């Protein structure tokens, strides 16, 4: 990889000599003659290191122009290595340059070997520093996503077919769109596709688009430079840059702000982007996997999603089956969760009574695998025996009907209910089922939390 090095001096002979030296060592020099040109170049191009003079035509001895230039460079790029050169060297000047943000100091006339050694050392340090910053942000993302979901546990034909398709697609570099209801395990499939792909040794970066606000979209996805906006106290690496050479997983892609979807399309087509506050174009080689529980074609028809972006994302579309369509996996998953939960609480693994098994198989599982996990943990906690009974599950099965059942008749006590009353009963029933947890209730109905509250509030006002 060719390293781009910016050199600045008001002496054209020095610029020429440095350019020849750097080119002979495989670097790509870019020469300018004034502080203002240095700043313009950094705004427009990506450099790996810069070599600057301390004194220019305005002042040939104090070094004030150079010290001010170092500070200005640091405002634009806090990581760019800066090597200072001057013919008016002193200990005080050297200390001042380092305090202002320079990485090293060389006196003119320079020794080629020493200068090249300093350049290579600073390039290596900068590379390690950037890797460390990426690793810190990546580890933070992993900690935030540590709750995760279940591993693949299945024996159903439906899952065998889907997994075989995912494994086949993983070998390509095609964009993948994972569809299916909430809680079916789309994020696990995304991780699986990455792990089975040639990119498996590179980062897997996951972003929940439902939590990315429109105002912070560009900063989150593309990063920002220090001072780009009020709260930008330090530079931030965006998700695309973090995922470079790896996989970027955009969950809940239907929630991507329409005003920002064009920026996503551009990165997918050109692999280019700019950090917020910078005009320098950067590149990222990223494999894209997206997931949604929404019908994106309907979103396109409703002008909520760009059609051209959809075509870039769904090169291969994989639909993850709901839990009710893979009944052969329900008891297997339930036992798997009970084993994990027992380990979590350092307690014996509970078994399932036959009545509990029957109830698990007869329930419709609107929240899918995620709901099953929560139900088994609750049953483990509330069970007063060595085996879980049907009553411990707290499920409202389809066969059970009553005034609060989602499956109760449209006629209630001989009275025809309005559509809004039926909807309100369903919302209340689902909220009760999840013990008042609005987030889980909303997810099980395919609604956002705000939409769930909106609907309940609307009905209560009637």
Summarize pLDDT for 394-453 with one digit per residue, the tens.
887 644 333 333 443 333 433 455 666 677 777 777 777 776 777 777 777 767 777 777
Cβ neighbours around 188 below 10 Å, total: 17
- pLDDT for 241-285, tens place per residue? 999 999 999 999 999 999 999 999 999 999 999 999 888 888 999
Give dist(CA 84, CA 38) in Å, integer.
13
Q: Is the pLDDT of residue 36 over 60?
A: yes
- pLDDT for 304-331, tens place per residue? 999 999 999 999 999 999 999 999 999 9
Give dist(CA 3, CA 46) in Å, integer.
10
* Phi/psi of residue 38, nearest 5 degrees: -60, -50
CA angle 106, 110, 114 (to 5 degrees): 75
Burial class (CB in 10 A: 0-12, 13-18, 19+), 107: middle
CATH number of 4-126: 3.40.50.2300
* Phi/psi of residue 448, nearest 5 degrees: -75, 160
Sign for the CA dihedral angle at 299, 304, 307, 312 comes to negative
Characterize the bridge pairing of strands 272-274 and 281-283.
antiparallel
Whether 157-321 and 322-399 share one fold: the answer is: no
Spans of all domains in the chain: 4-126, 157-321, 322-399, 401-462
- Per CATH, the homologous superfamily of domain 157-321 is P-loop containing nucleotide triphosphate hydrolases (3.40.50.300)
**Does residue 37 come out as left (phi exceeding 0), alpha (psi in the -120 to 50 range) or beta?**
alpha
pTM value is 0.62
Pick the CATH number of 322-399 from 1.10.8.60, 3.40.50.720, 2.40.30.260, 1.10.3720.10: 1.10.8.60
Q: How far is residue 222 from each of residues 125, 273, 301, 339, measured CA to CA in Å?
A: 24, 7, 28, 41
Report CA Rg, the chain: 30
Give dist(CA 54, CA 66) in Å, integer.
4
């Amino acid at each position: 990889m060719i390293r781009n090095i910016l050199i600045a001096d008001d002496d054209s002979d020095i610029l020429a000599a440095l350019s020849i030296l750097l080119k002979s060592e495989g670097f790509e020099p870019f020469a300018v003659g004034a502080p203002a040109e240095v700043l313009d170049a950094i705004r427009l191009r990506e450099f790996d290191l810069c070599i600057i003079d301390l004194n220019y035509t305005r002042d040939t001895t104090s070094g004030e122009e150079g010290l001010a230039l170092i500070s200005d460079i640091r405002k634009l790029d806090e990581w760019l290595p800066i090597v200072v050169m001057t013919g008016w060297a002193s200990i005080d000047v050297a200390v001042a340059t380092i305090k202002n943000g320079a990485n090293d100091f060389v006196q003119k006339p320079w020794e080629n070997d020493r200068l090249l050694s300093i350049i290579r050392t600073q390039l290596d340090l900068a590379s390690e520093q950037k890797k460390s910053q990426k690793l810190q942000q990546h580890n933070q993302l992993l900690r935030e996503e540590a709750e995760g979901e279940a591993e693949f546990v299945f024996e159903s034909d439906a899952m065998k077919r889907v997994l075989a398709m995912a494994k086949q697609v993983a070998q390509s570099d095609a964009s993948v769109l994972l569809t299916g209801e909430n809680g079916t395990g789309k994020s696990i499939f995304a991780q699986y596709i990455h792990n089975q792909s040639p990119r498996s040794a590179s980062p897997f970066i996951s972003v929940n688009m439902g939590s990315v606000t429109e105002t912070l979209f560009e900063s989150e996805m593309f990063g920002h430079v220090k001072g780009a906006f009020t709260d930008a106290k330090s530079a931030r690496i965006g998700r695309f840059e973090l995922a470079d050479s790896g996989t970027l997983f955009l969950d809940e892609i239907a929630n991507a702000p329409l005003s920002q979807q064009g920026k996503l399309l551009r990165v997918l087509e050109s692999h280019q982007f700019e950090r917020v506050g910078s005009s320098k174009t950067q590149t990222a080689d990223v494999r894209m996997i997206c997931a949604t529980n929404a019908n994106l074609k309907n979103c396109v028809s409703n002008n909520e999603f760009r059609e051209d972006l959809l075509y870039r994302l769904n090169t291969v579309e994989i639909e993850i089956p709901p839990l009710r369509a893979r009944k052969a996996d329900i008891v297997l998953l339930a036992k798997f969760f009970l084993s994990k939960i027992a380990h979590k609480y350092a307690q014996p693994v509970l078994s399932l009574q036959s009545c509990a098994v029957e109830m698990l198989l007869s329930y419709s599982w609107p929240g899918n695998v995620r709901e099953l996990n929560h139900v088994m943990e609750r049953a483990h906690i509330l069970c007063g025996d060595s085996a879980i009974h049907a009553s411990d599950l707290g499920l409202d099965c389809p066969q059970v009907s009553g005034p609060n059942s989602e499956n109760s008749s449209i006629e209630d006590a001989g009275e025809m209910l309005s559509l809004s009353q039926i909807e309100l009963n369903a919302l209340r029933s689902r909220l009760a089922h999840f013990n008042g947890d609005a987030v889980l209730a909303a997810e099980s109905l395919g609604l956002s939390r705000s939409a769930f509250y909106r609907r309940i509030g609307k009905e209560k006002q009637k």
